[in-house]
Amino acid sequence: MNKDLTKKFSSGHATCAGCGIPAIVRTVLGATDEQVIVSNATGCLEVTTTIYPSTSWKVPYIHSVFGNAAATAAGIDAAQKALEKSGKLKNPAKIIAFGGDGGTYDIGLQALSGALERGHDFLYVCYDNEGYMNTGGQRSGATPYGANTETAPVGSQSFGKTQQRKDLMEIVKAHGIKYLAQANVAYLPDLKRKAQKALNTPGPSFLLVLQPCTQIWKFPTSEYVAIGKLATETNFWPLFEIEDGKYIINNIVKEPKPIEEFLKTQGRFKHLFKEKNLEVIKEIQKTVNENFEKLAKRAQIS
Amino acid sequence: MEKGAIINHDQTKAPKTGDWRYMKPEVDASKCIGCSTCVPHCPEAVMEMRKRSEAEVEISGKFAKEKDLAVIDYEYCKGCGVCAQVCPVKAIIMKK
C-alpha cells in the first residue's frame, strides 16, 4: 500500500477492478495539505467505500441521501462559519463534495444549484461515468447519444439513447461562480492543478471529471486511461476551465481523431457499427464538431 | 458498533481485495525505468517506488542506481492491469 497516496483514502475498497474513481478521489484530496471534510452523494463511490463495518475514508466523511451532497456541504460550511463567529473554530476545513453523474446531473441538480447560488465555500467534484453504473447502467442526463443502456436498450427499432447529453458546464456557469473546469481521469496532473486552483478559490467551485466505466461502457479492466485519453483526443471531452467567465481550452488537439476511434473501443456503442446505424455515428461526429466549435468561439470571445 | 453512529477507519477490517485477482502483474526490474507513471493511476494505490537492491542494480545494468523500482503490494492488488497498460516501456507483465 502506497503510504503517500493512502493518507486520506485507503486501499481495501470495493470499486470494480480497473475503476478510475479512486484515482480521482486521491488526486483531489492530495491537492491540499489542509484539513478536509467530505460530503458524498449516493453512487458507486459511496457504496464501495463504506461497506459496514469498514470505511476507506481517513478524513471526516458524511453521506446522507442521493440528491443532497451539495446541500450537506452547504450545511457544513454554514456550521463552520457559525463556529468561527463565536470563536470556537480557528482553522475551518476545506469542504469537498463528491457525486456521480446521477447525483449531479439529475437527482442532485437542484441541491447543487441552491448551494452554488447561496455562494457557500466548497468544491463540488462530479465524476462522470455517464450513467447509473452502480445499479446496472440505466441512462442518465449524462449518457451520450446512441449509447446502449438498460433503460434505453438497443433493438430492431432502437439504436440506444435518442437524446443528447446535458451541458452541465453551462448550467453551472450560469450561476456566475468564479472557477469551474472540465477534467479527465486520464490526465491526473491536469486534474491536480485544477483541484488546487478550485480549492484556493473563495466561494463555490466545480470540477467535472470524465470517468470511463469498465463494467457498463464494456471494455477490458486495464483500459480506463487509454479510453479517457481517446475521449479527449477526439474532442468528445475537451479539457477546459472557466475562470471569472473567461474560457481557457487546456488541450488544443491539432488533428482530432475521428469519433469512431473512441466509439469502437466500447461495447455500449457496438451496435452503431452495423450498417443501418452508420448514420448515427455521423450525427455523433457532427455534434462533437459543433460543440467544440461553440467552445472555441467562447474561448476566443472571452 | 461505535458510539454515535461514527465509524472510525480501521485497516484491519478492510476487505483484502487481493483475493479478487486472477491475473498477477509482475514488474521486470531489468526494464523498469522508474518513471512512476503507474503509481497515481493504480485504483488501489498499491504501486510504490523504492530504491533498488544490489542484485536489482546488477540485472538492470544500463540503468543508474538512482532510478527507483516499482513494487506491488499484492494484499490489495485486484489485478486489473492498468499499471501494465500505462507503462511506457512495458515493464509490467500480467501473468496467470
What is the CATH number for B89?
A: 3.30.70.3270
With respect to residue A92, please indicate whether it lies within any of the assigned structural domains.
yes
- Inform me whether the pLDDT recorded for B1 exceeds 60: no
Q: Which residue of B has its CA nearest to A8?
A: B9
Q: Which residues contact A115 (CB under 8 A, 6 or more apart)?
A: A70, A71, A73, A74, A122, A124, A204
The residue-averaged pLDDT of A53-59 equals 92
Q: What is the mean pLDDT of chain A?
A: 94
Q: Where are the alpha helices (DSSP H) in chain A?
A: 21-29, 44-49, 69-85, 109-118, 168-173, 188-199, 224-233, 259-263, 278-301
Strand partners, A99: A126
A71 part of a folded domain: yes
The CATH number of whichever domain residue A88 belongs to comes to: 3.40.50.970
Residue A253's pLDDT is 84
- Kindly state whether residue B90 falls inside one of the protein's structural domains: yes
Report yes or no: A26 at the B interface, CB cutoff 8 Å. yes
Question: Model confidence over A59-114: pLDDT tens digits?
Answer: 999 998 999 999 999 999 999 999 999 999 999 999 999 999 999 999 999 999 99
Q: Do B86 and A225 count as a contact with CB atoms less than 8 A apart?
A: yes
Of A186, A102, A108, A208, the closest CA to residue A150 belongs to A102
Q: Is residue A7 part of a domain?
A: no
Higher pLDDT, B63 or A180: A180
Higher per-residue confidence, B63 vs A299? A299
Q: Tell me the three cell numbers of residue A297.
A: 468561439
Q: Which string of DSSP letters, residue by residue, matches B12-53?
A: GGS--GGGG-SSEEEE-TTT-----SHHHH-TT--EEEEPPP
The arithmetic mean of pLDDT across residues A142-156, rounded, is 94
CA B33, distance to chain mean position in Å, is 14
User: So what's the pLDDT on residue B56?
Assistant: 79
pLDDT value, residue A198: 96
At residue A7 the predicted structure's pLDDT band, cuts being 50, 70 and 90, is very high
The domain in which residue B90 lies consists of 31-96
Q: Which of A11-15, A233-237, B3-7, B70-74 is predicted with the least confidence, judged by mean pLDDT?
A: B3-7
Burial class (CB in 10 A: 0-12, 13-18, 19+), A60: middle
In this structure, is residue A2 part of a structural domain?
no
For residue A210, what are the domain limits? 21-301
Asked, for residue A263, whether it belongs to a domain, the answer is: yes
Q: Tell me the pLDDT of chain B averaged across its residues.
A: 88
pLDDT of B63 = 66
Instruction: Find out whether A186 and A102 touch, Cβ atoms under 8 Å.
Output: no
Q: What is the pLDDT of residue B60?
A: 73
Confidence class of residue B4 from pLDDT cuts 50, 70 and 90? low
Q: Which DSSP helix (H) or strand (E) runs through B54?
A: helix B54-60
**Which of B78, B79, B85 faces A225 most closely, judged by CB atoms?**
B85
> Is residue A226's pLDDT more than 90?
yes
Q: A235 in a domain, yes or no?
A: yes
Task: Specify if B76 maps to a domain.
Answer: yes
Return the C-alpha cell found at A236. Answer: 468528445
Work out how many domains chain B is built from and give that number: 1
Distance from CA of B64 to the nearest CA of A (A): 24
Do the chains contact at A2 and B80, CB–CB below 8 Å? no
Q: What percent of chain A has pLDDT over 90?
A: 94
Number of structural domains chain A divides into: 1
Q: Do B81 and A12 touch (CB under 8 A)?
A: no
Sign (positive or negative) of CA dihedral A116, A120, A126, A130 = negative
Domain presence at residue A14? no
- % of chain B with per-residue pLDDT over 90: 57
| B45 pLDDT more than 80 | yes
Q: Which residues of A197-225 are buried (b: 16+ CB within 10 A; e: fewer)?
A: bbbebeebbbbbbbbbbbbbbebebbbbb
Residue B2 in any domain: the answer is no
The answer to whether A103 and A80 are in contact (CB under 8 A) is no
Is the predicted pLDDT of residue B65 greater than 80, yes or no?
A: no
Facing B41 at nearest CB: one of A6, A13, A225? A225
pLDDT in tens, B19-39: 999 999 999 988 888 899 999
Per-residue pLDDT, A220: 95
Write down the pLDDT at residue A53: 84
- Rounded CA-CA distance A272/A274 in Å is 5
Residue A2: pLDDT band (50, 70, 90) is confident
